[in-house]
Amino acid sequence: MSLPEHGQCRVVIERVTPEIDAGRFAIKRIVGDVVTVEADVFADGHDELSVEIDYRPVVATVWQSTRMTPLSNDRWAGRFRVEHLGEYRYTVRAWIDRFRSWRRDLIKRLDAGQDVQVDAQTGAKLIALAEDRASGADREMLADWQQRVLSGANDERRQAATDVGLLQLMDRWSEPSFPTRYERELRITVDRERARFSAWYELFPRSAAKEPGRHGTLKDVTERLPEIAAMEFDVVYLPPIHPIGRVHRKGRNNAVAAATDEVGCPWAIGAMEGGHKSILPELGTFADFENLVSQARSHQLEIALDIAFQCAPDHPYVAEHPEWFRKRPDGTVQYAENPPKKYQDIYPFDFECADWPALWTELKSIFEFWIDRGVRTFRVDNPHTKPFPFWEWCLGDLKRQHPDLIFLAEAFTRPKVMYRLAKLGFTQSYTYFAWRQSARDLTEYCTELTQTAVAEYFQPNFWPNTPDILTAELQTGGRPAFVRRLILAATLSSSYGVYGPPFEHLWSVAREPDSEEYLDSEKFEIQHHDWQRPDSLQTLIAMVNRIRREHPALQTNGGLRFHPVDNERLLCFSKSSVAGDQRVLIVVNLDNEITQAGFVNLPLQEWGLDATRPFAVHDRLTDARYEWRGPRNYVELHPHPWPAHILEVRPGMG
């Protein structure tokens, strides 16, 4: 057996966190975030160690370093800030610190009254080695310390062993002795703030016309922007805006055959007018689209486009590249199926075809086409039905060129698949929130998303409804259900969205019993929305979004904690800001019909509140103010008009 290559490296580095799948994938952070790294670091014997985090943006060649400090039981921790978009690398480095070991032992020998002449020579030599590497004033100070240790009295030597300034000089200029470097360089994807904190509003452009009976346009959407901005959303998400296939076009309520005047489903992409790089003529022109993007920015909004990698039978790709599609035994192209459902108006791509490199390249170019037209945010339809390697390559390459891009995965599938897509590069993901309704289910699910390793790479985006999801709760719960689900989505998650007009206007009629499909769904027909309806939730939505913007605690998920309450029909949780200087407490009545009451139990000591003194809670929904005392306090919530409290927690009264 041959000798080890680095036999003089005595330090062991283990259990570095955060680390995803042995470094296979990146953790995710936002520009300005502080990254906390921990590791088990130890060595044989009794020498002191120095441990550092090495980190750099991937575009930089020079590593920066920050020291780690010991916690307990050989566990070390350190922090650094990520200040640029894109990818970072980090790792841990440690070594036997001769100077720290010397100063510790010198103090012990001095305290024991021992002769330290030889020890002084050892320390002076270590300082001299650092002096040789130093420059400027640091070099002069080290030279002075070297002489004081070598020739001075024991009091001066003790001062050298305890002086923080000398220790900092030695940390700066000493050469590490046989350092051990962690075996992996770990990665961070650093996104912009909207990747973590965002409010999405979905609408169908063809239903945006003010007057009934007319096909809406991109210009109509542009006219709607002030109203959407007034509700304080961040992102306006448009379903596909491309030409819609005519072959096997679906009719109203998903009828297999469409009448000649029916508009079809926007996700059946492509016709004689073009495909994924074209705009449905009835919606307008590229000039209209570019104006929409520009006007959205002027309202502090951005446009998100839907990317659905599938084709209508008359999409140009089908004729130009038949090799990209799977054939049935009778020679016809295989349409999409999810038995027993059939989607005759949609052809899926065959990612296993022989010409897959050309297919991959073309699909990535669809993103690039819309990026060139100002789009920076994309909602991706059914990414879990496309190969993982494709997404890793496609999103990775796009993010390297455009690190500000945001990708929302519409992947209602198994948890491990959803998590894998997040690891591969999707910025945010839809979740199971719509179907989590009990206090227990919400607590367990949100704890998994925010308090486990999942939080290092998976950013949830909570939607109470979508064009495909009208839950039984919204069908039967009336206005209280809509208000409650809005407040839960907007406060449990720092990113959320609503399928806009139907949510605002309390749409609740399903196509058929036991169905989550809307009756007369916008997926298959044009609808007219009365934006001035007196029962609209616009005012409430604006209020909730304003509260989110005013409270940093609601702009992140790391500070989410659930609290005991003695009524299972009440849900109680709090959120704290990253700095820990702000806290919001939310209590929600989960009952649509009955007033619910109970006592909530709060961790006042953890919050820095004196349990013997009163403290104030201010409900931002109603402007009501309450004086609470002690950890146990009474709450009573009616279903109407406010089935929830959003409470600012303040020490003392005021």
Q: How far apart are CA 387 and CA 410, in angstroms?
A: 15
Q: The whole model's pTM is what? A: 0.95
Whether residue 376 contacts residue 297, with contact meaning beta carbons closer than 8 Å, is answered with no
Which residue in the block uniquely carries the two structure tokens 């070390």?
76
- Residue-wise pLDDT tens digits, 159-209: 988 999 999 999 999 999 899 999 999 999 999 999 999 999 999 999 999
Same fold, 199-551 and 561-651: no
pLDDT at 654 over 50: no
Q: Dump pLDDT digits (tens) for 50-105.
A: 999 999 999 999 999 999 999 999 999 999 999 999 999 999 999 999 999 999 99
CATH of domain 199-551: 3.20.20.80
**Are 233 and 200 a contacting pair, CB within 8 Å?**
yes
Does the structure show a pLDDT above 90 at 492?
Answer: yes
In this predicted structure, the answer to whether residue 627 has a pLDDT above a threshold of 70 is yes
Task: Read off the tokens for 273.
Answer: 């007018």
Cis status of the peptide bond prior to 502, with omega within 30 of 0: no
Chain-centroid distance, C-alpha 414:
19
Q: What percent of the chain has pLDDT over 90?
A: 93
Domains of the chain: which residue ranges? 11-190, 199-551, 561-651
* pLDDT tens-digit readout, 213-231: 999 999 999 999 999 999 9
Give CATH superfamily name and number for 11-190.
Immunoglobulins (2.60.40.10)
Handedness of CA 486, 489, 494, 496 (dihedral sign): negative
Q: Do residues 510 and 470 make contact, with C-beta atoms less than 8 angstroms apart?
A: yes
pLDDT score at 333: 86
Q: How far is CA 452 from CA 310, 444, 449, in A?
A: 35, 11, 7
Tell me what pLDDT residue 652 has: 57
Instruction: Provide the 3-class DSSP secondary structure of residue 148.
Output: helix
* Separation CA 356–CA 451 (nearest Å): 39
CA distances from 359 to 225, 243, 272, 325 (A): 36, 20, 20, 10
Give 554-611 pLDDT, tens digit per residue.
Answer: 999 999 999 999 999 999 999 998 877 789 999 999 999 999 999 999 999 999 999 9
Angle at 570 between CA 564 and CA 576, to 5 degrees: 55
Helical (H) or strand (E) element with 105: helix 98-111
User: What CATH number belongs to 561-651?
Assistant: 2.60.40.1180
Give the DSSP H/E element, type plus range, for residue 121.
Answer: helix 117-133
Residues labelled as active-site residues: 381, 410
Q: What is the pLDDT of residues 284-325, one digit of tens each?
A: 999 999 999 999 999 999 999 999 999 999 999 999 999 999
653: pLDDT strictly greater than 70: no
Q: Is the pLDDT of residue 525 over 90?
A: yes
Residue 557: closest CA among 465, 491, 463 = 491
Given a cut of 50, is residue 529 above it in pLDDT? yes
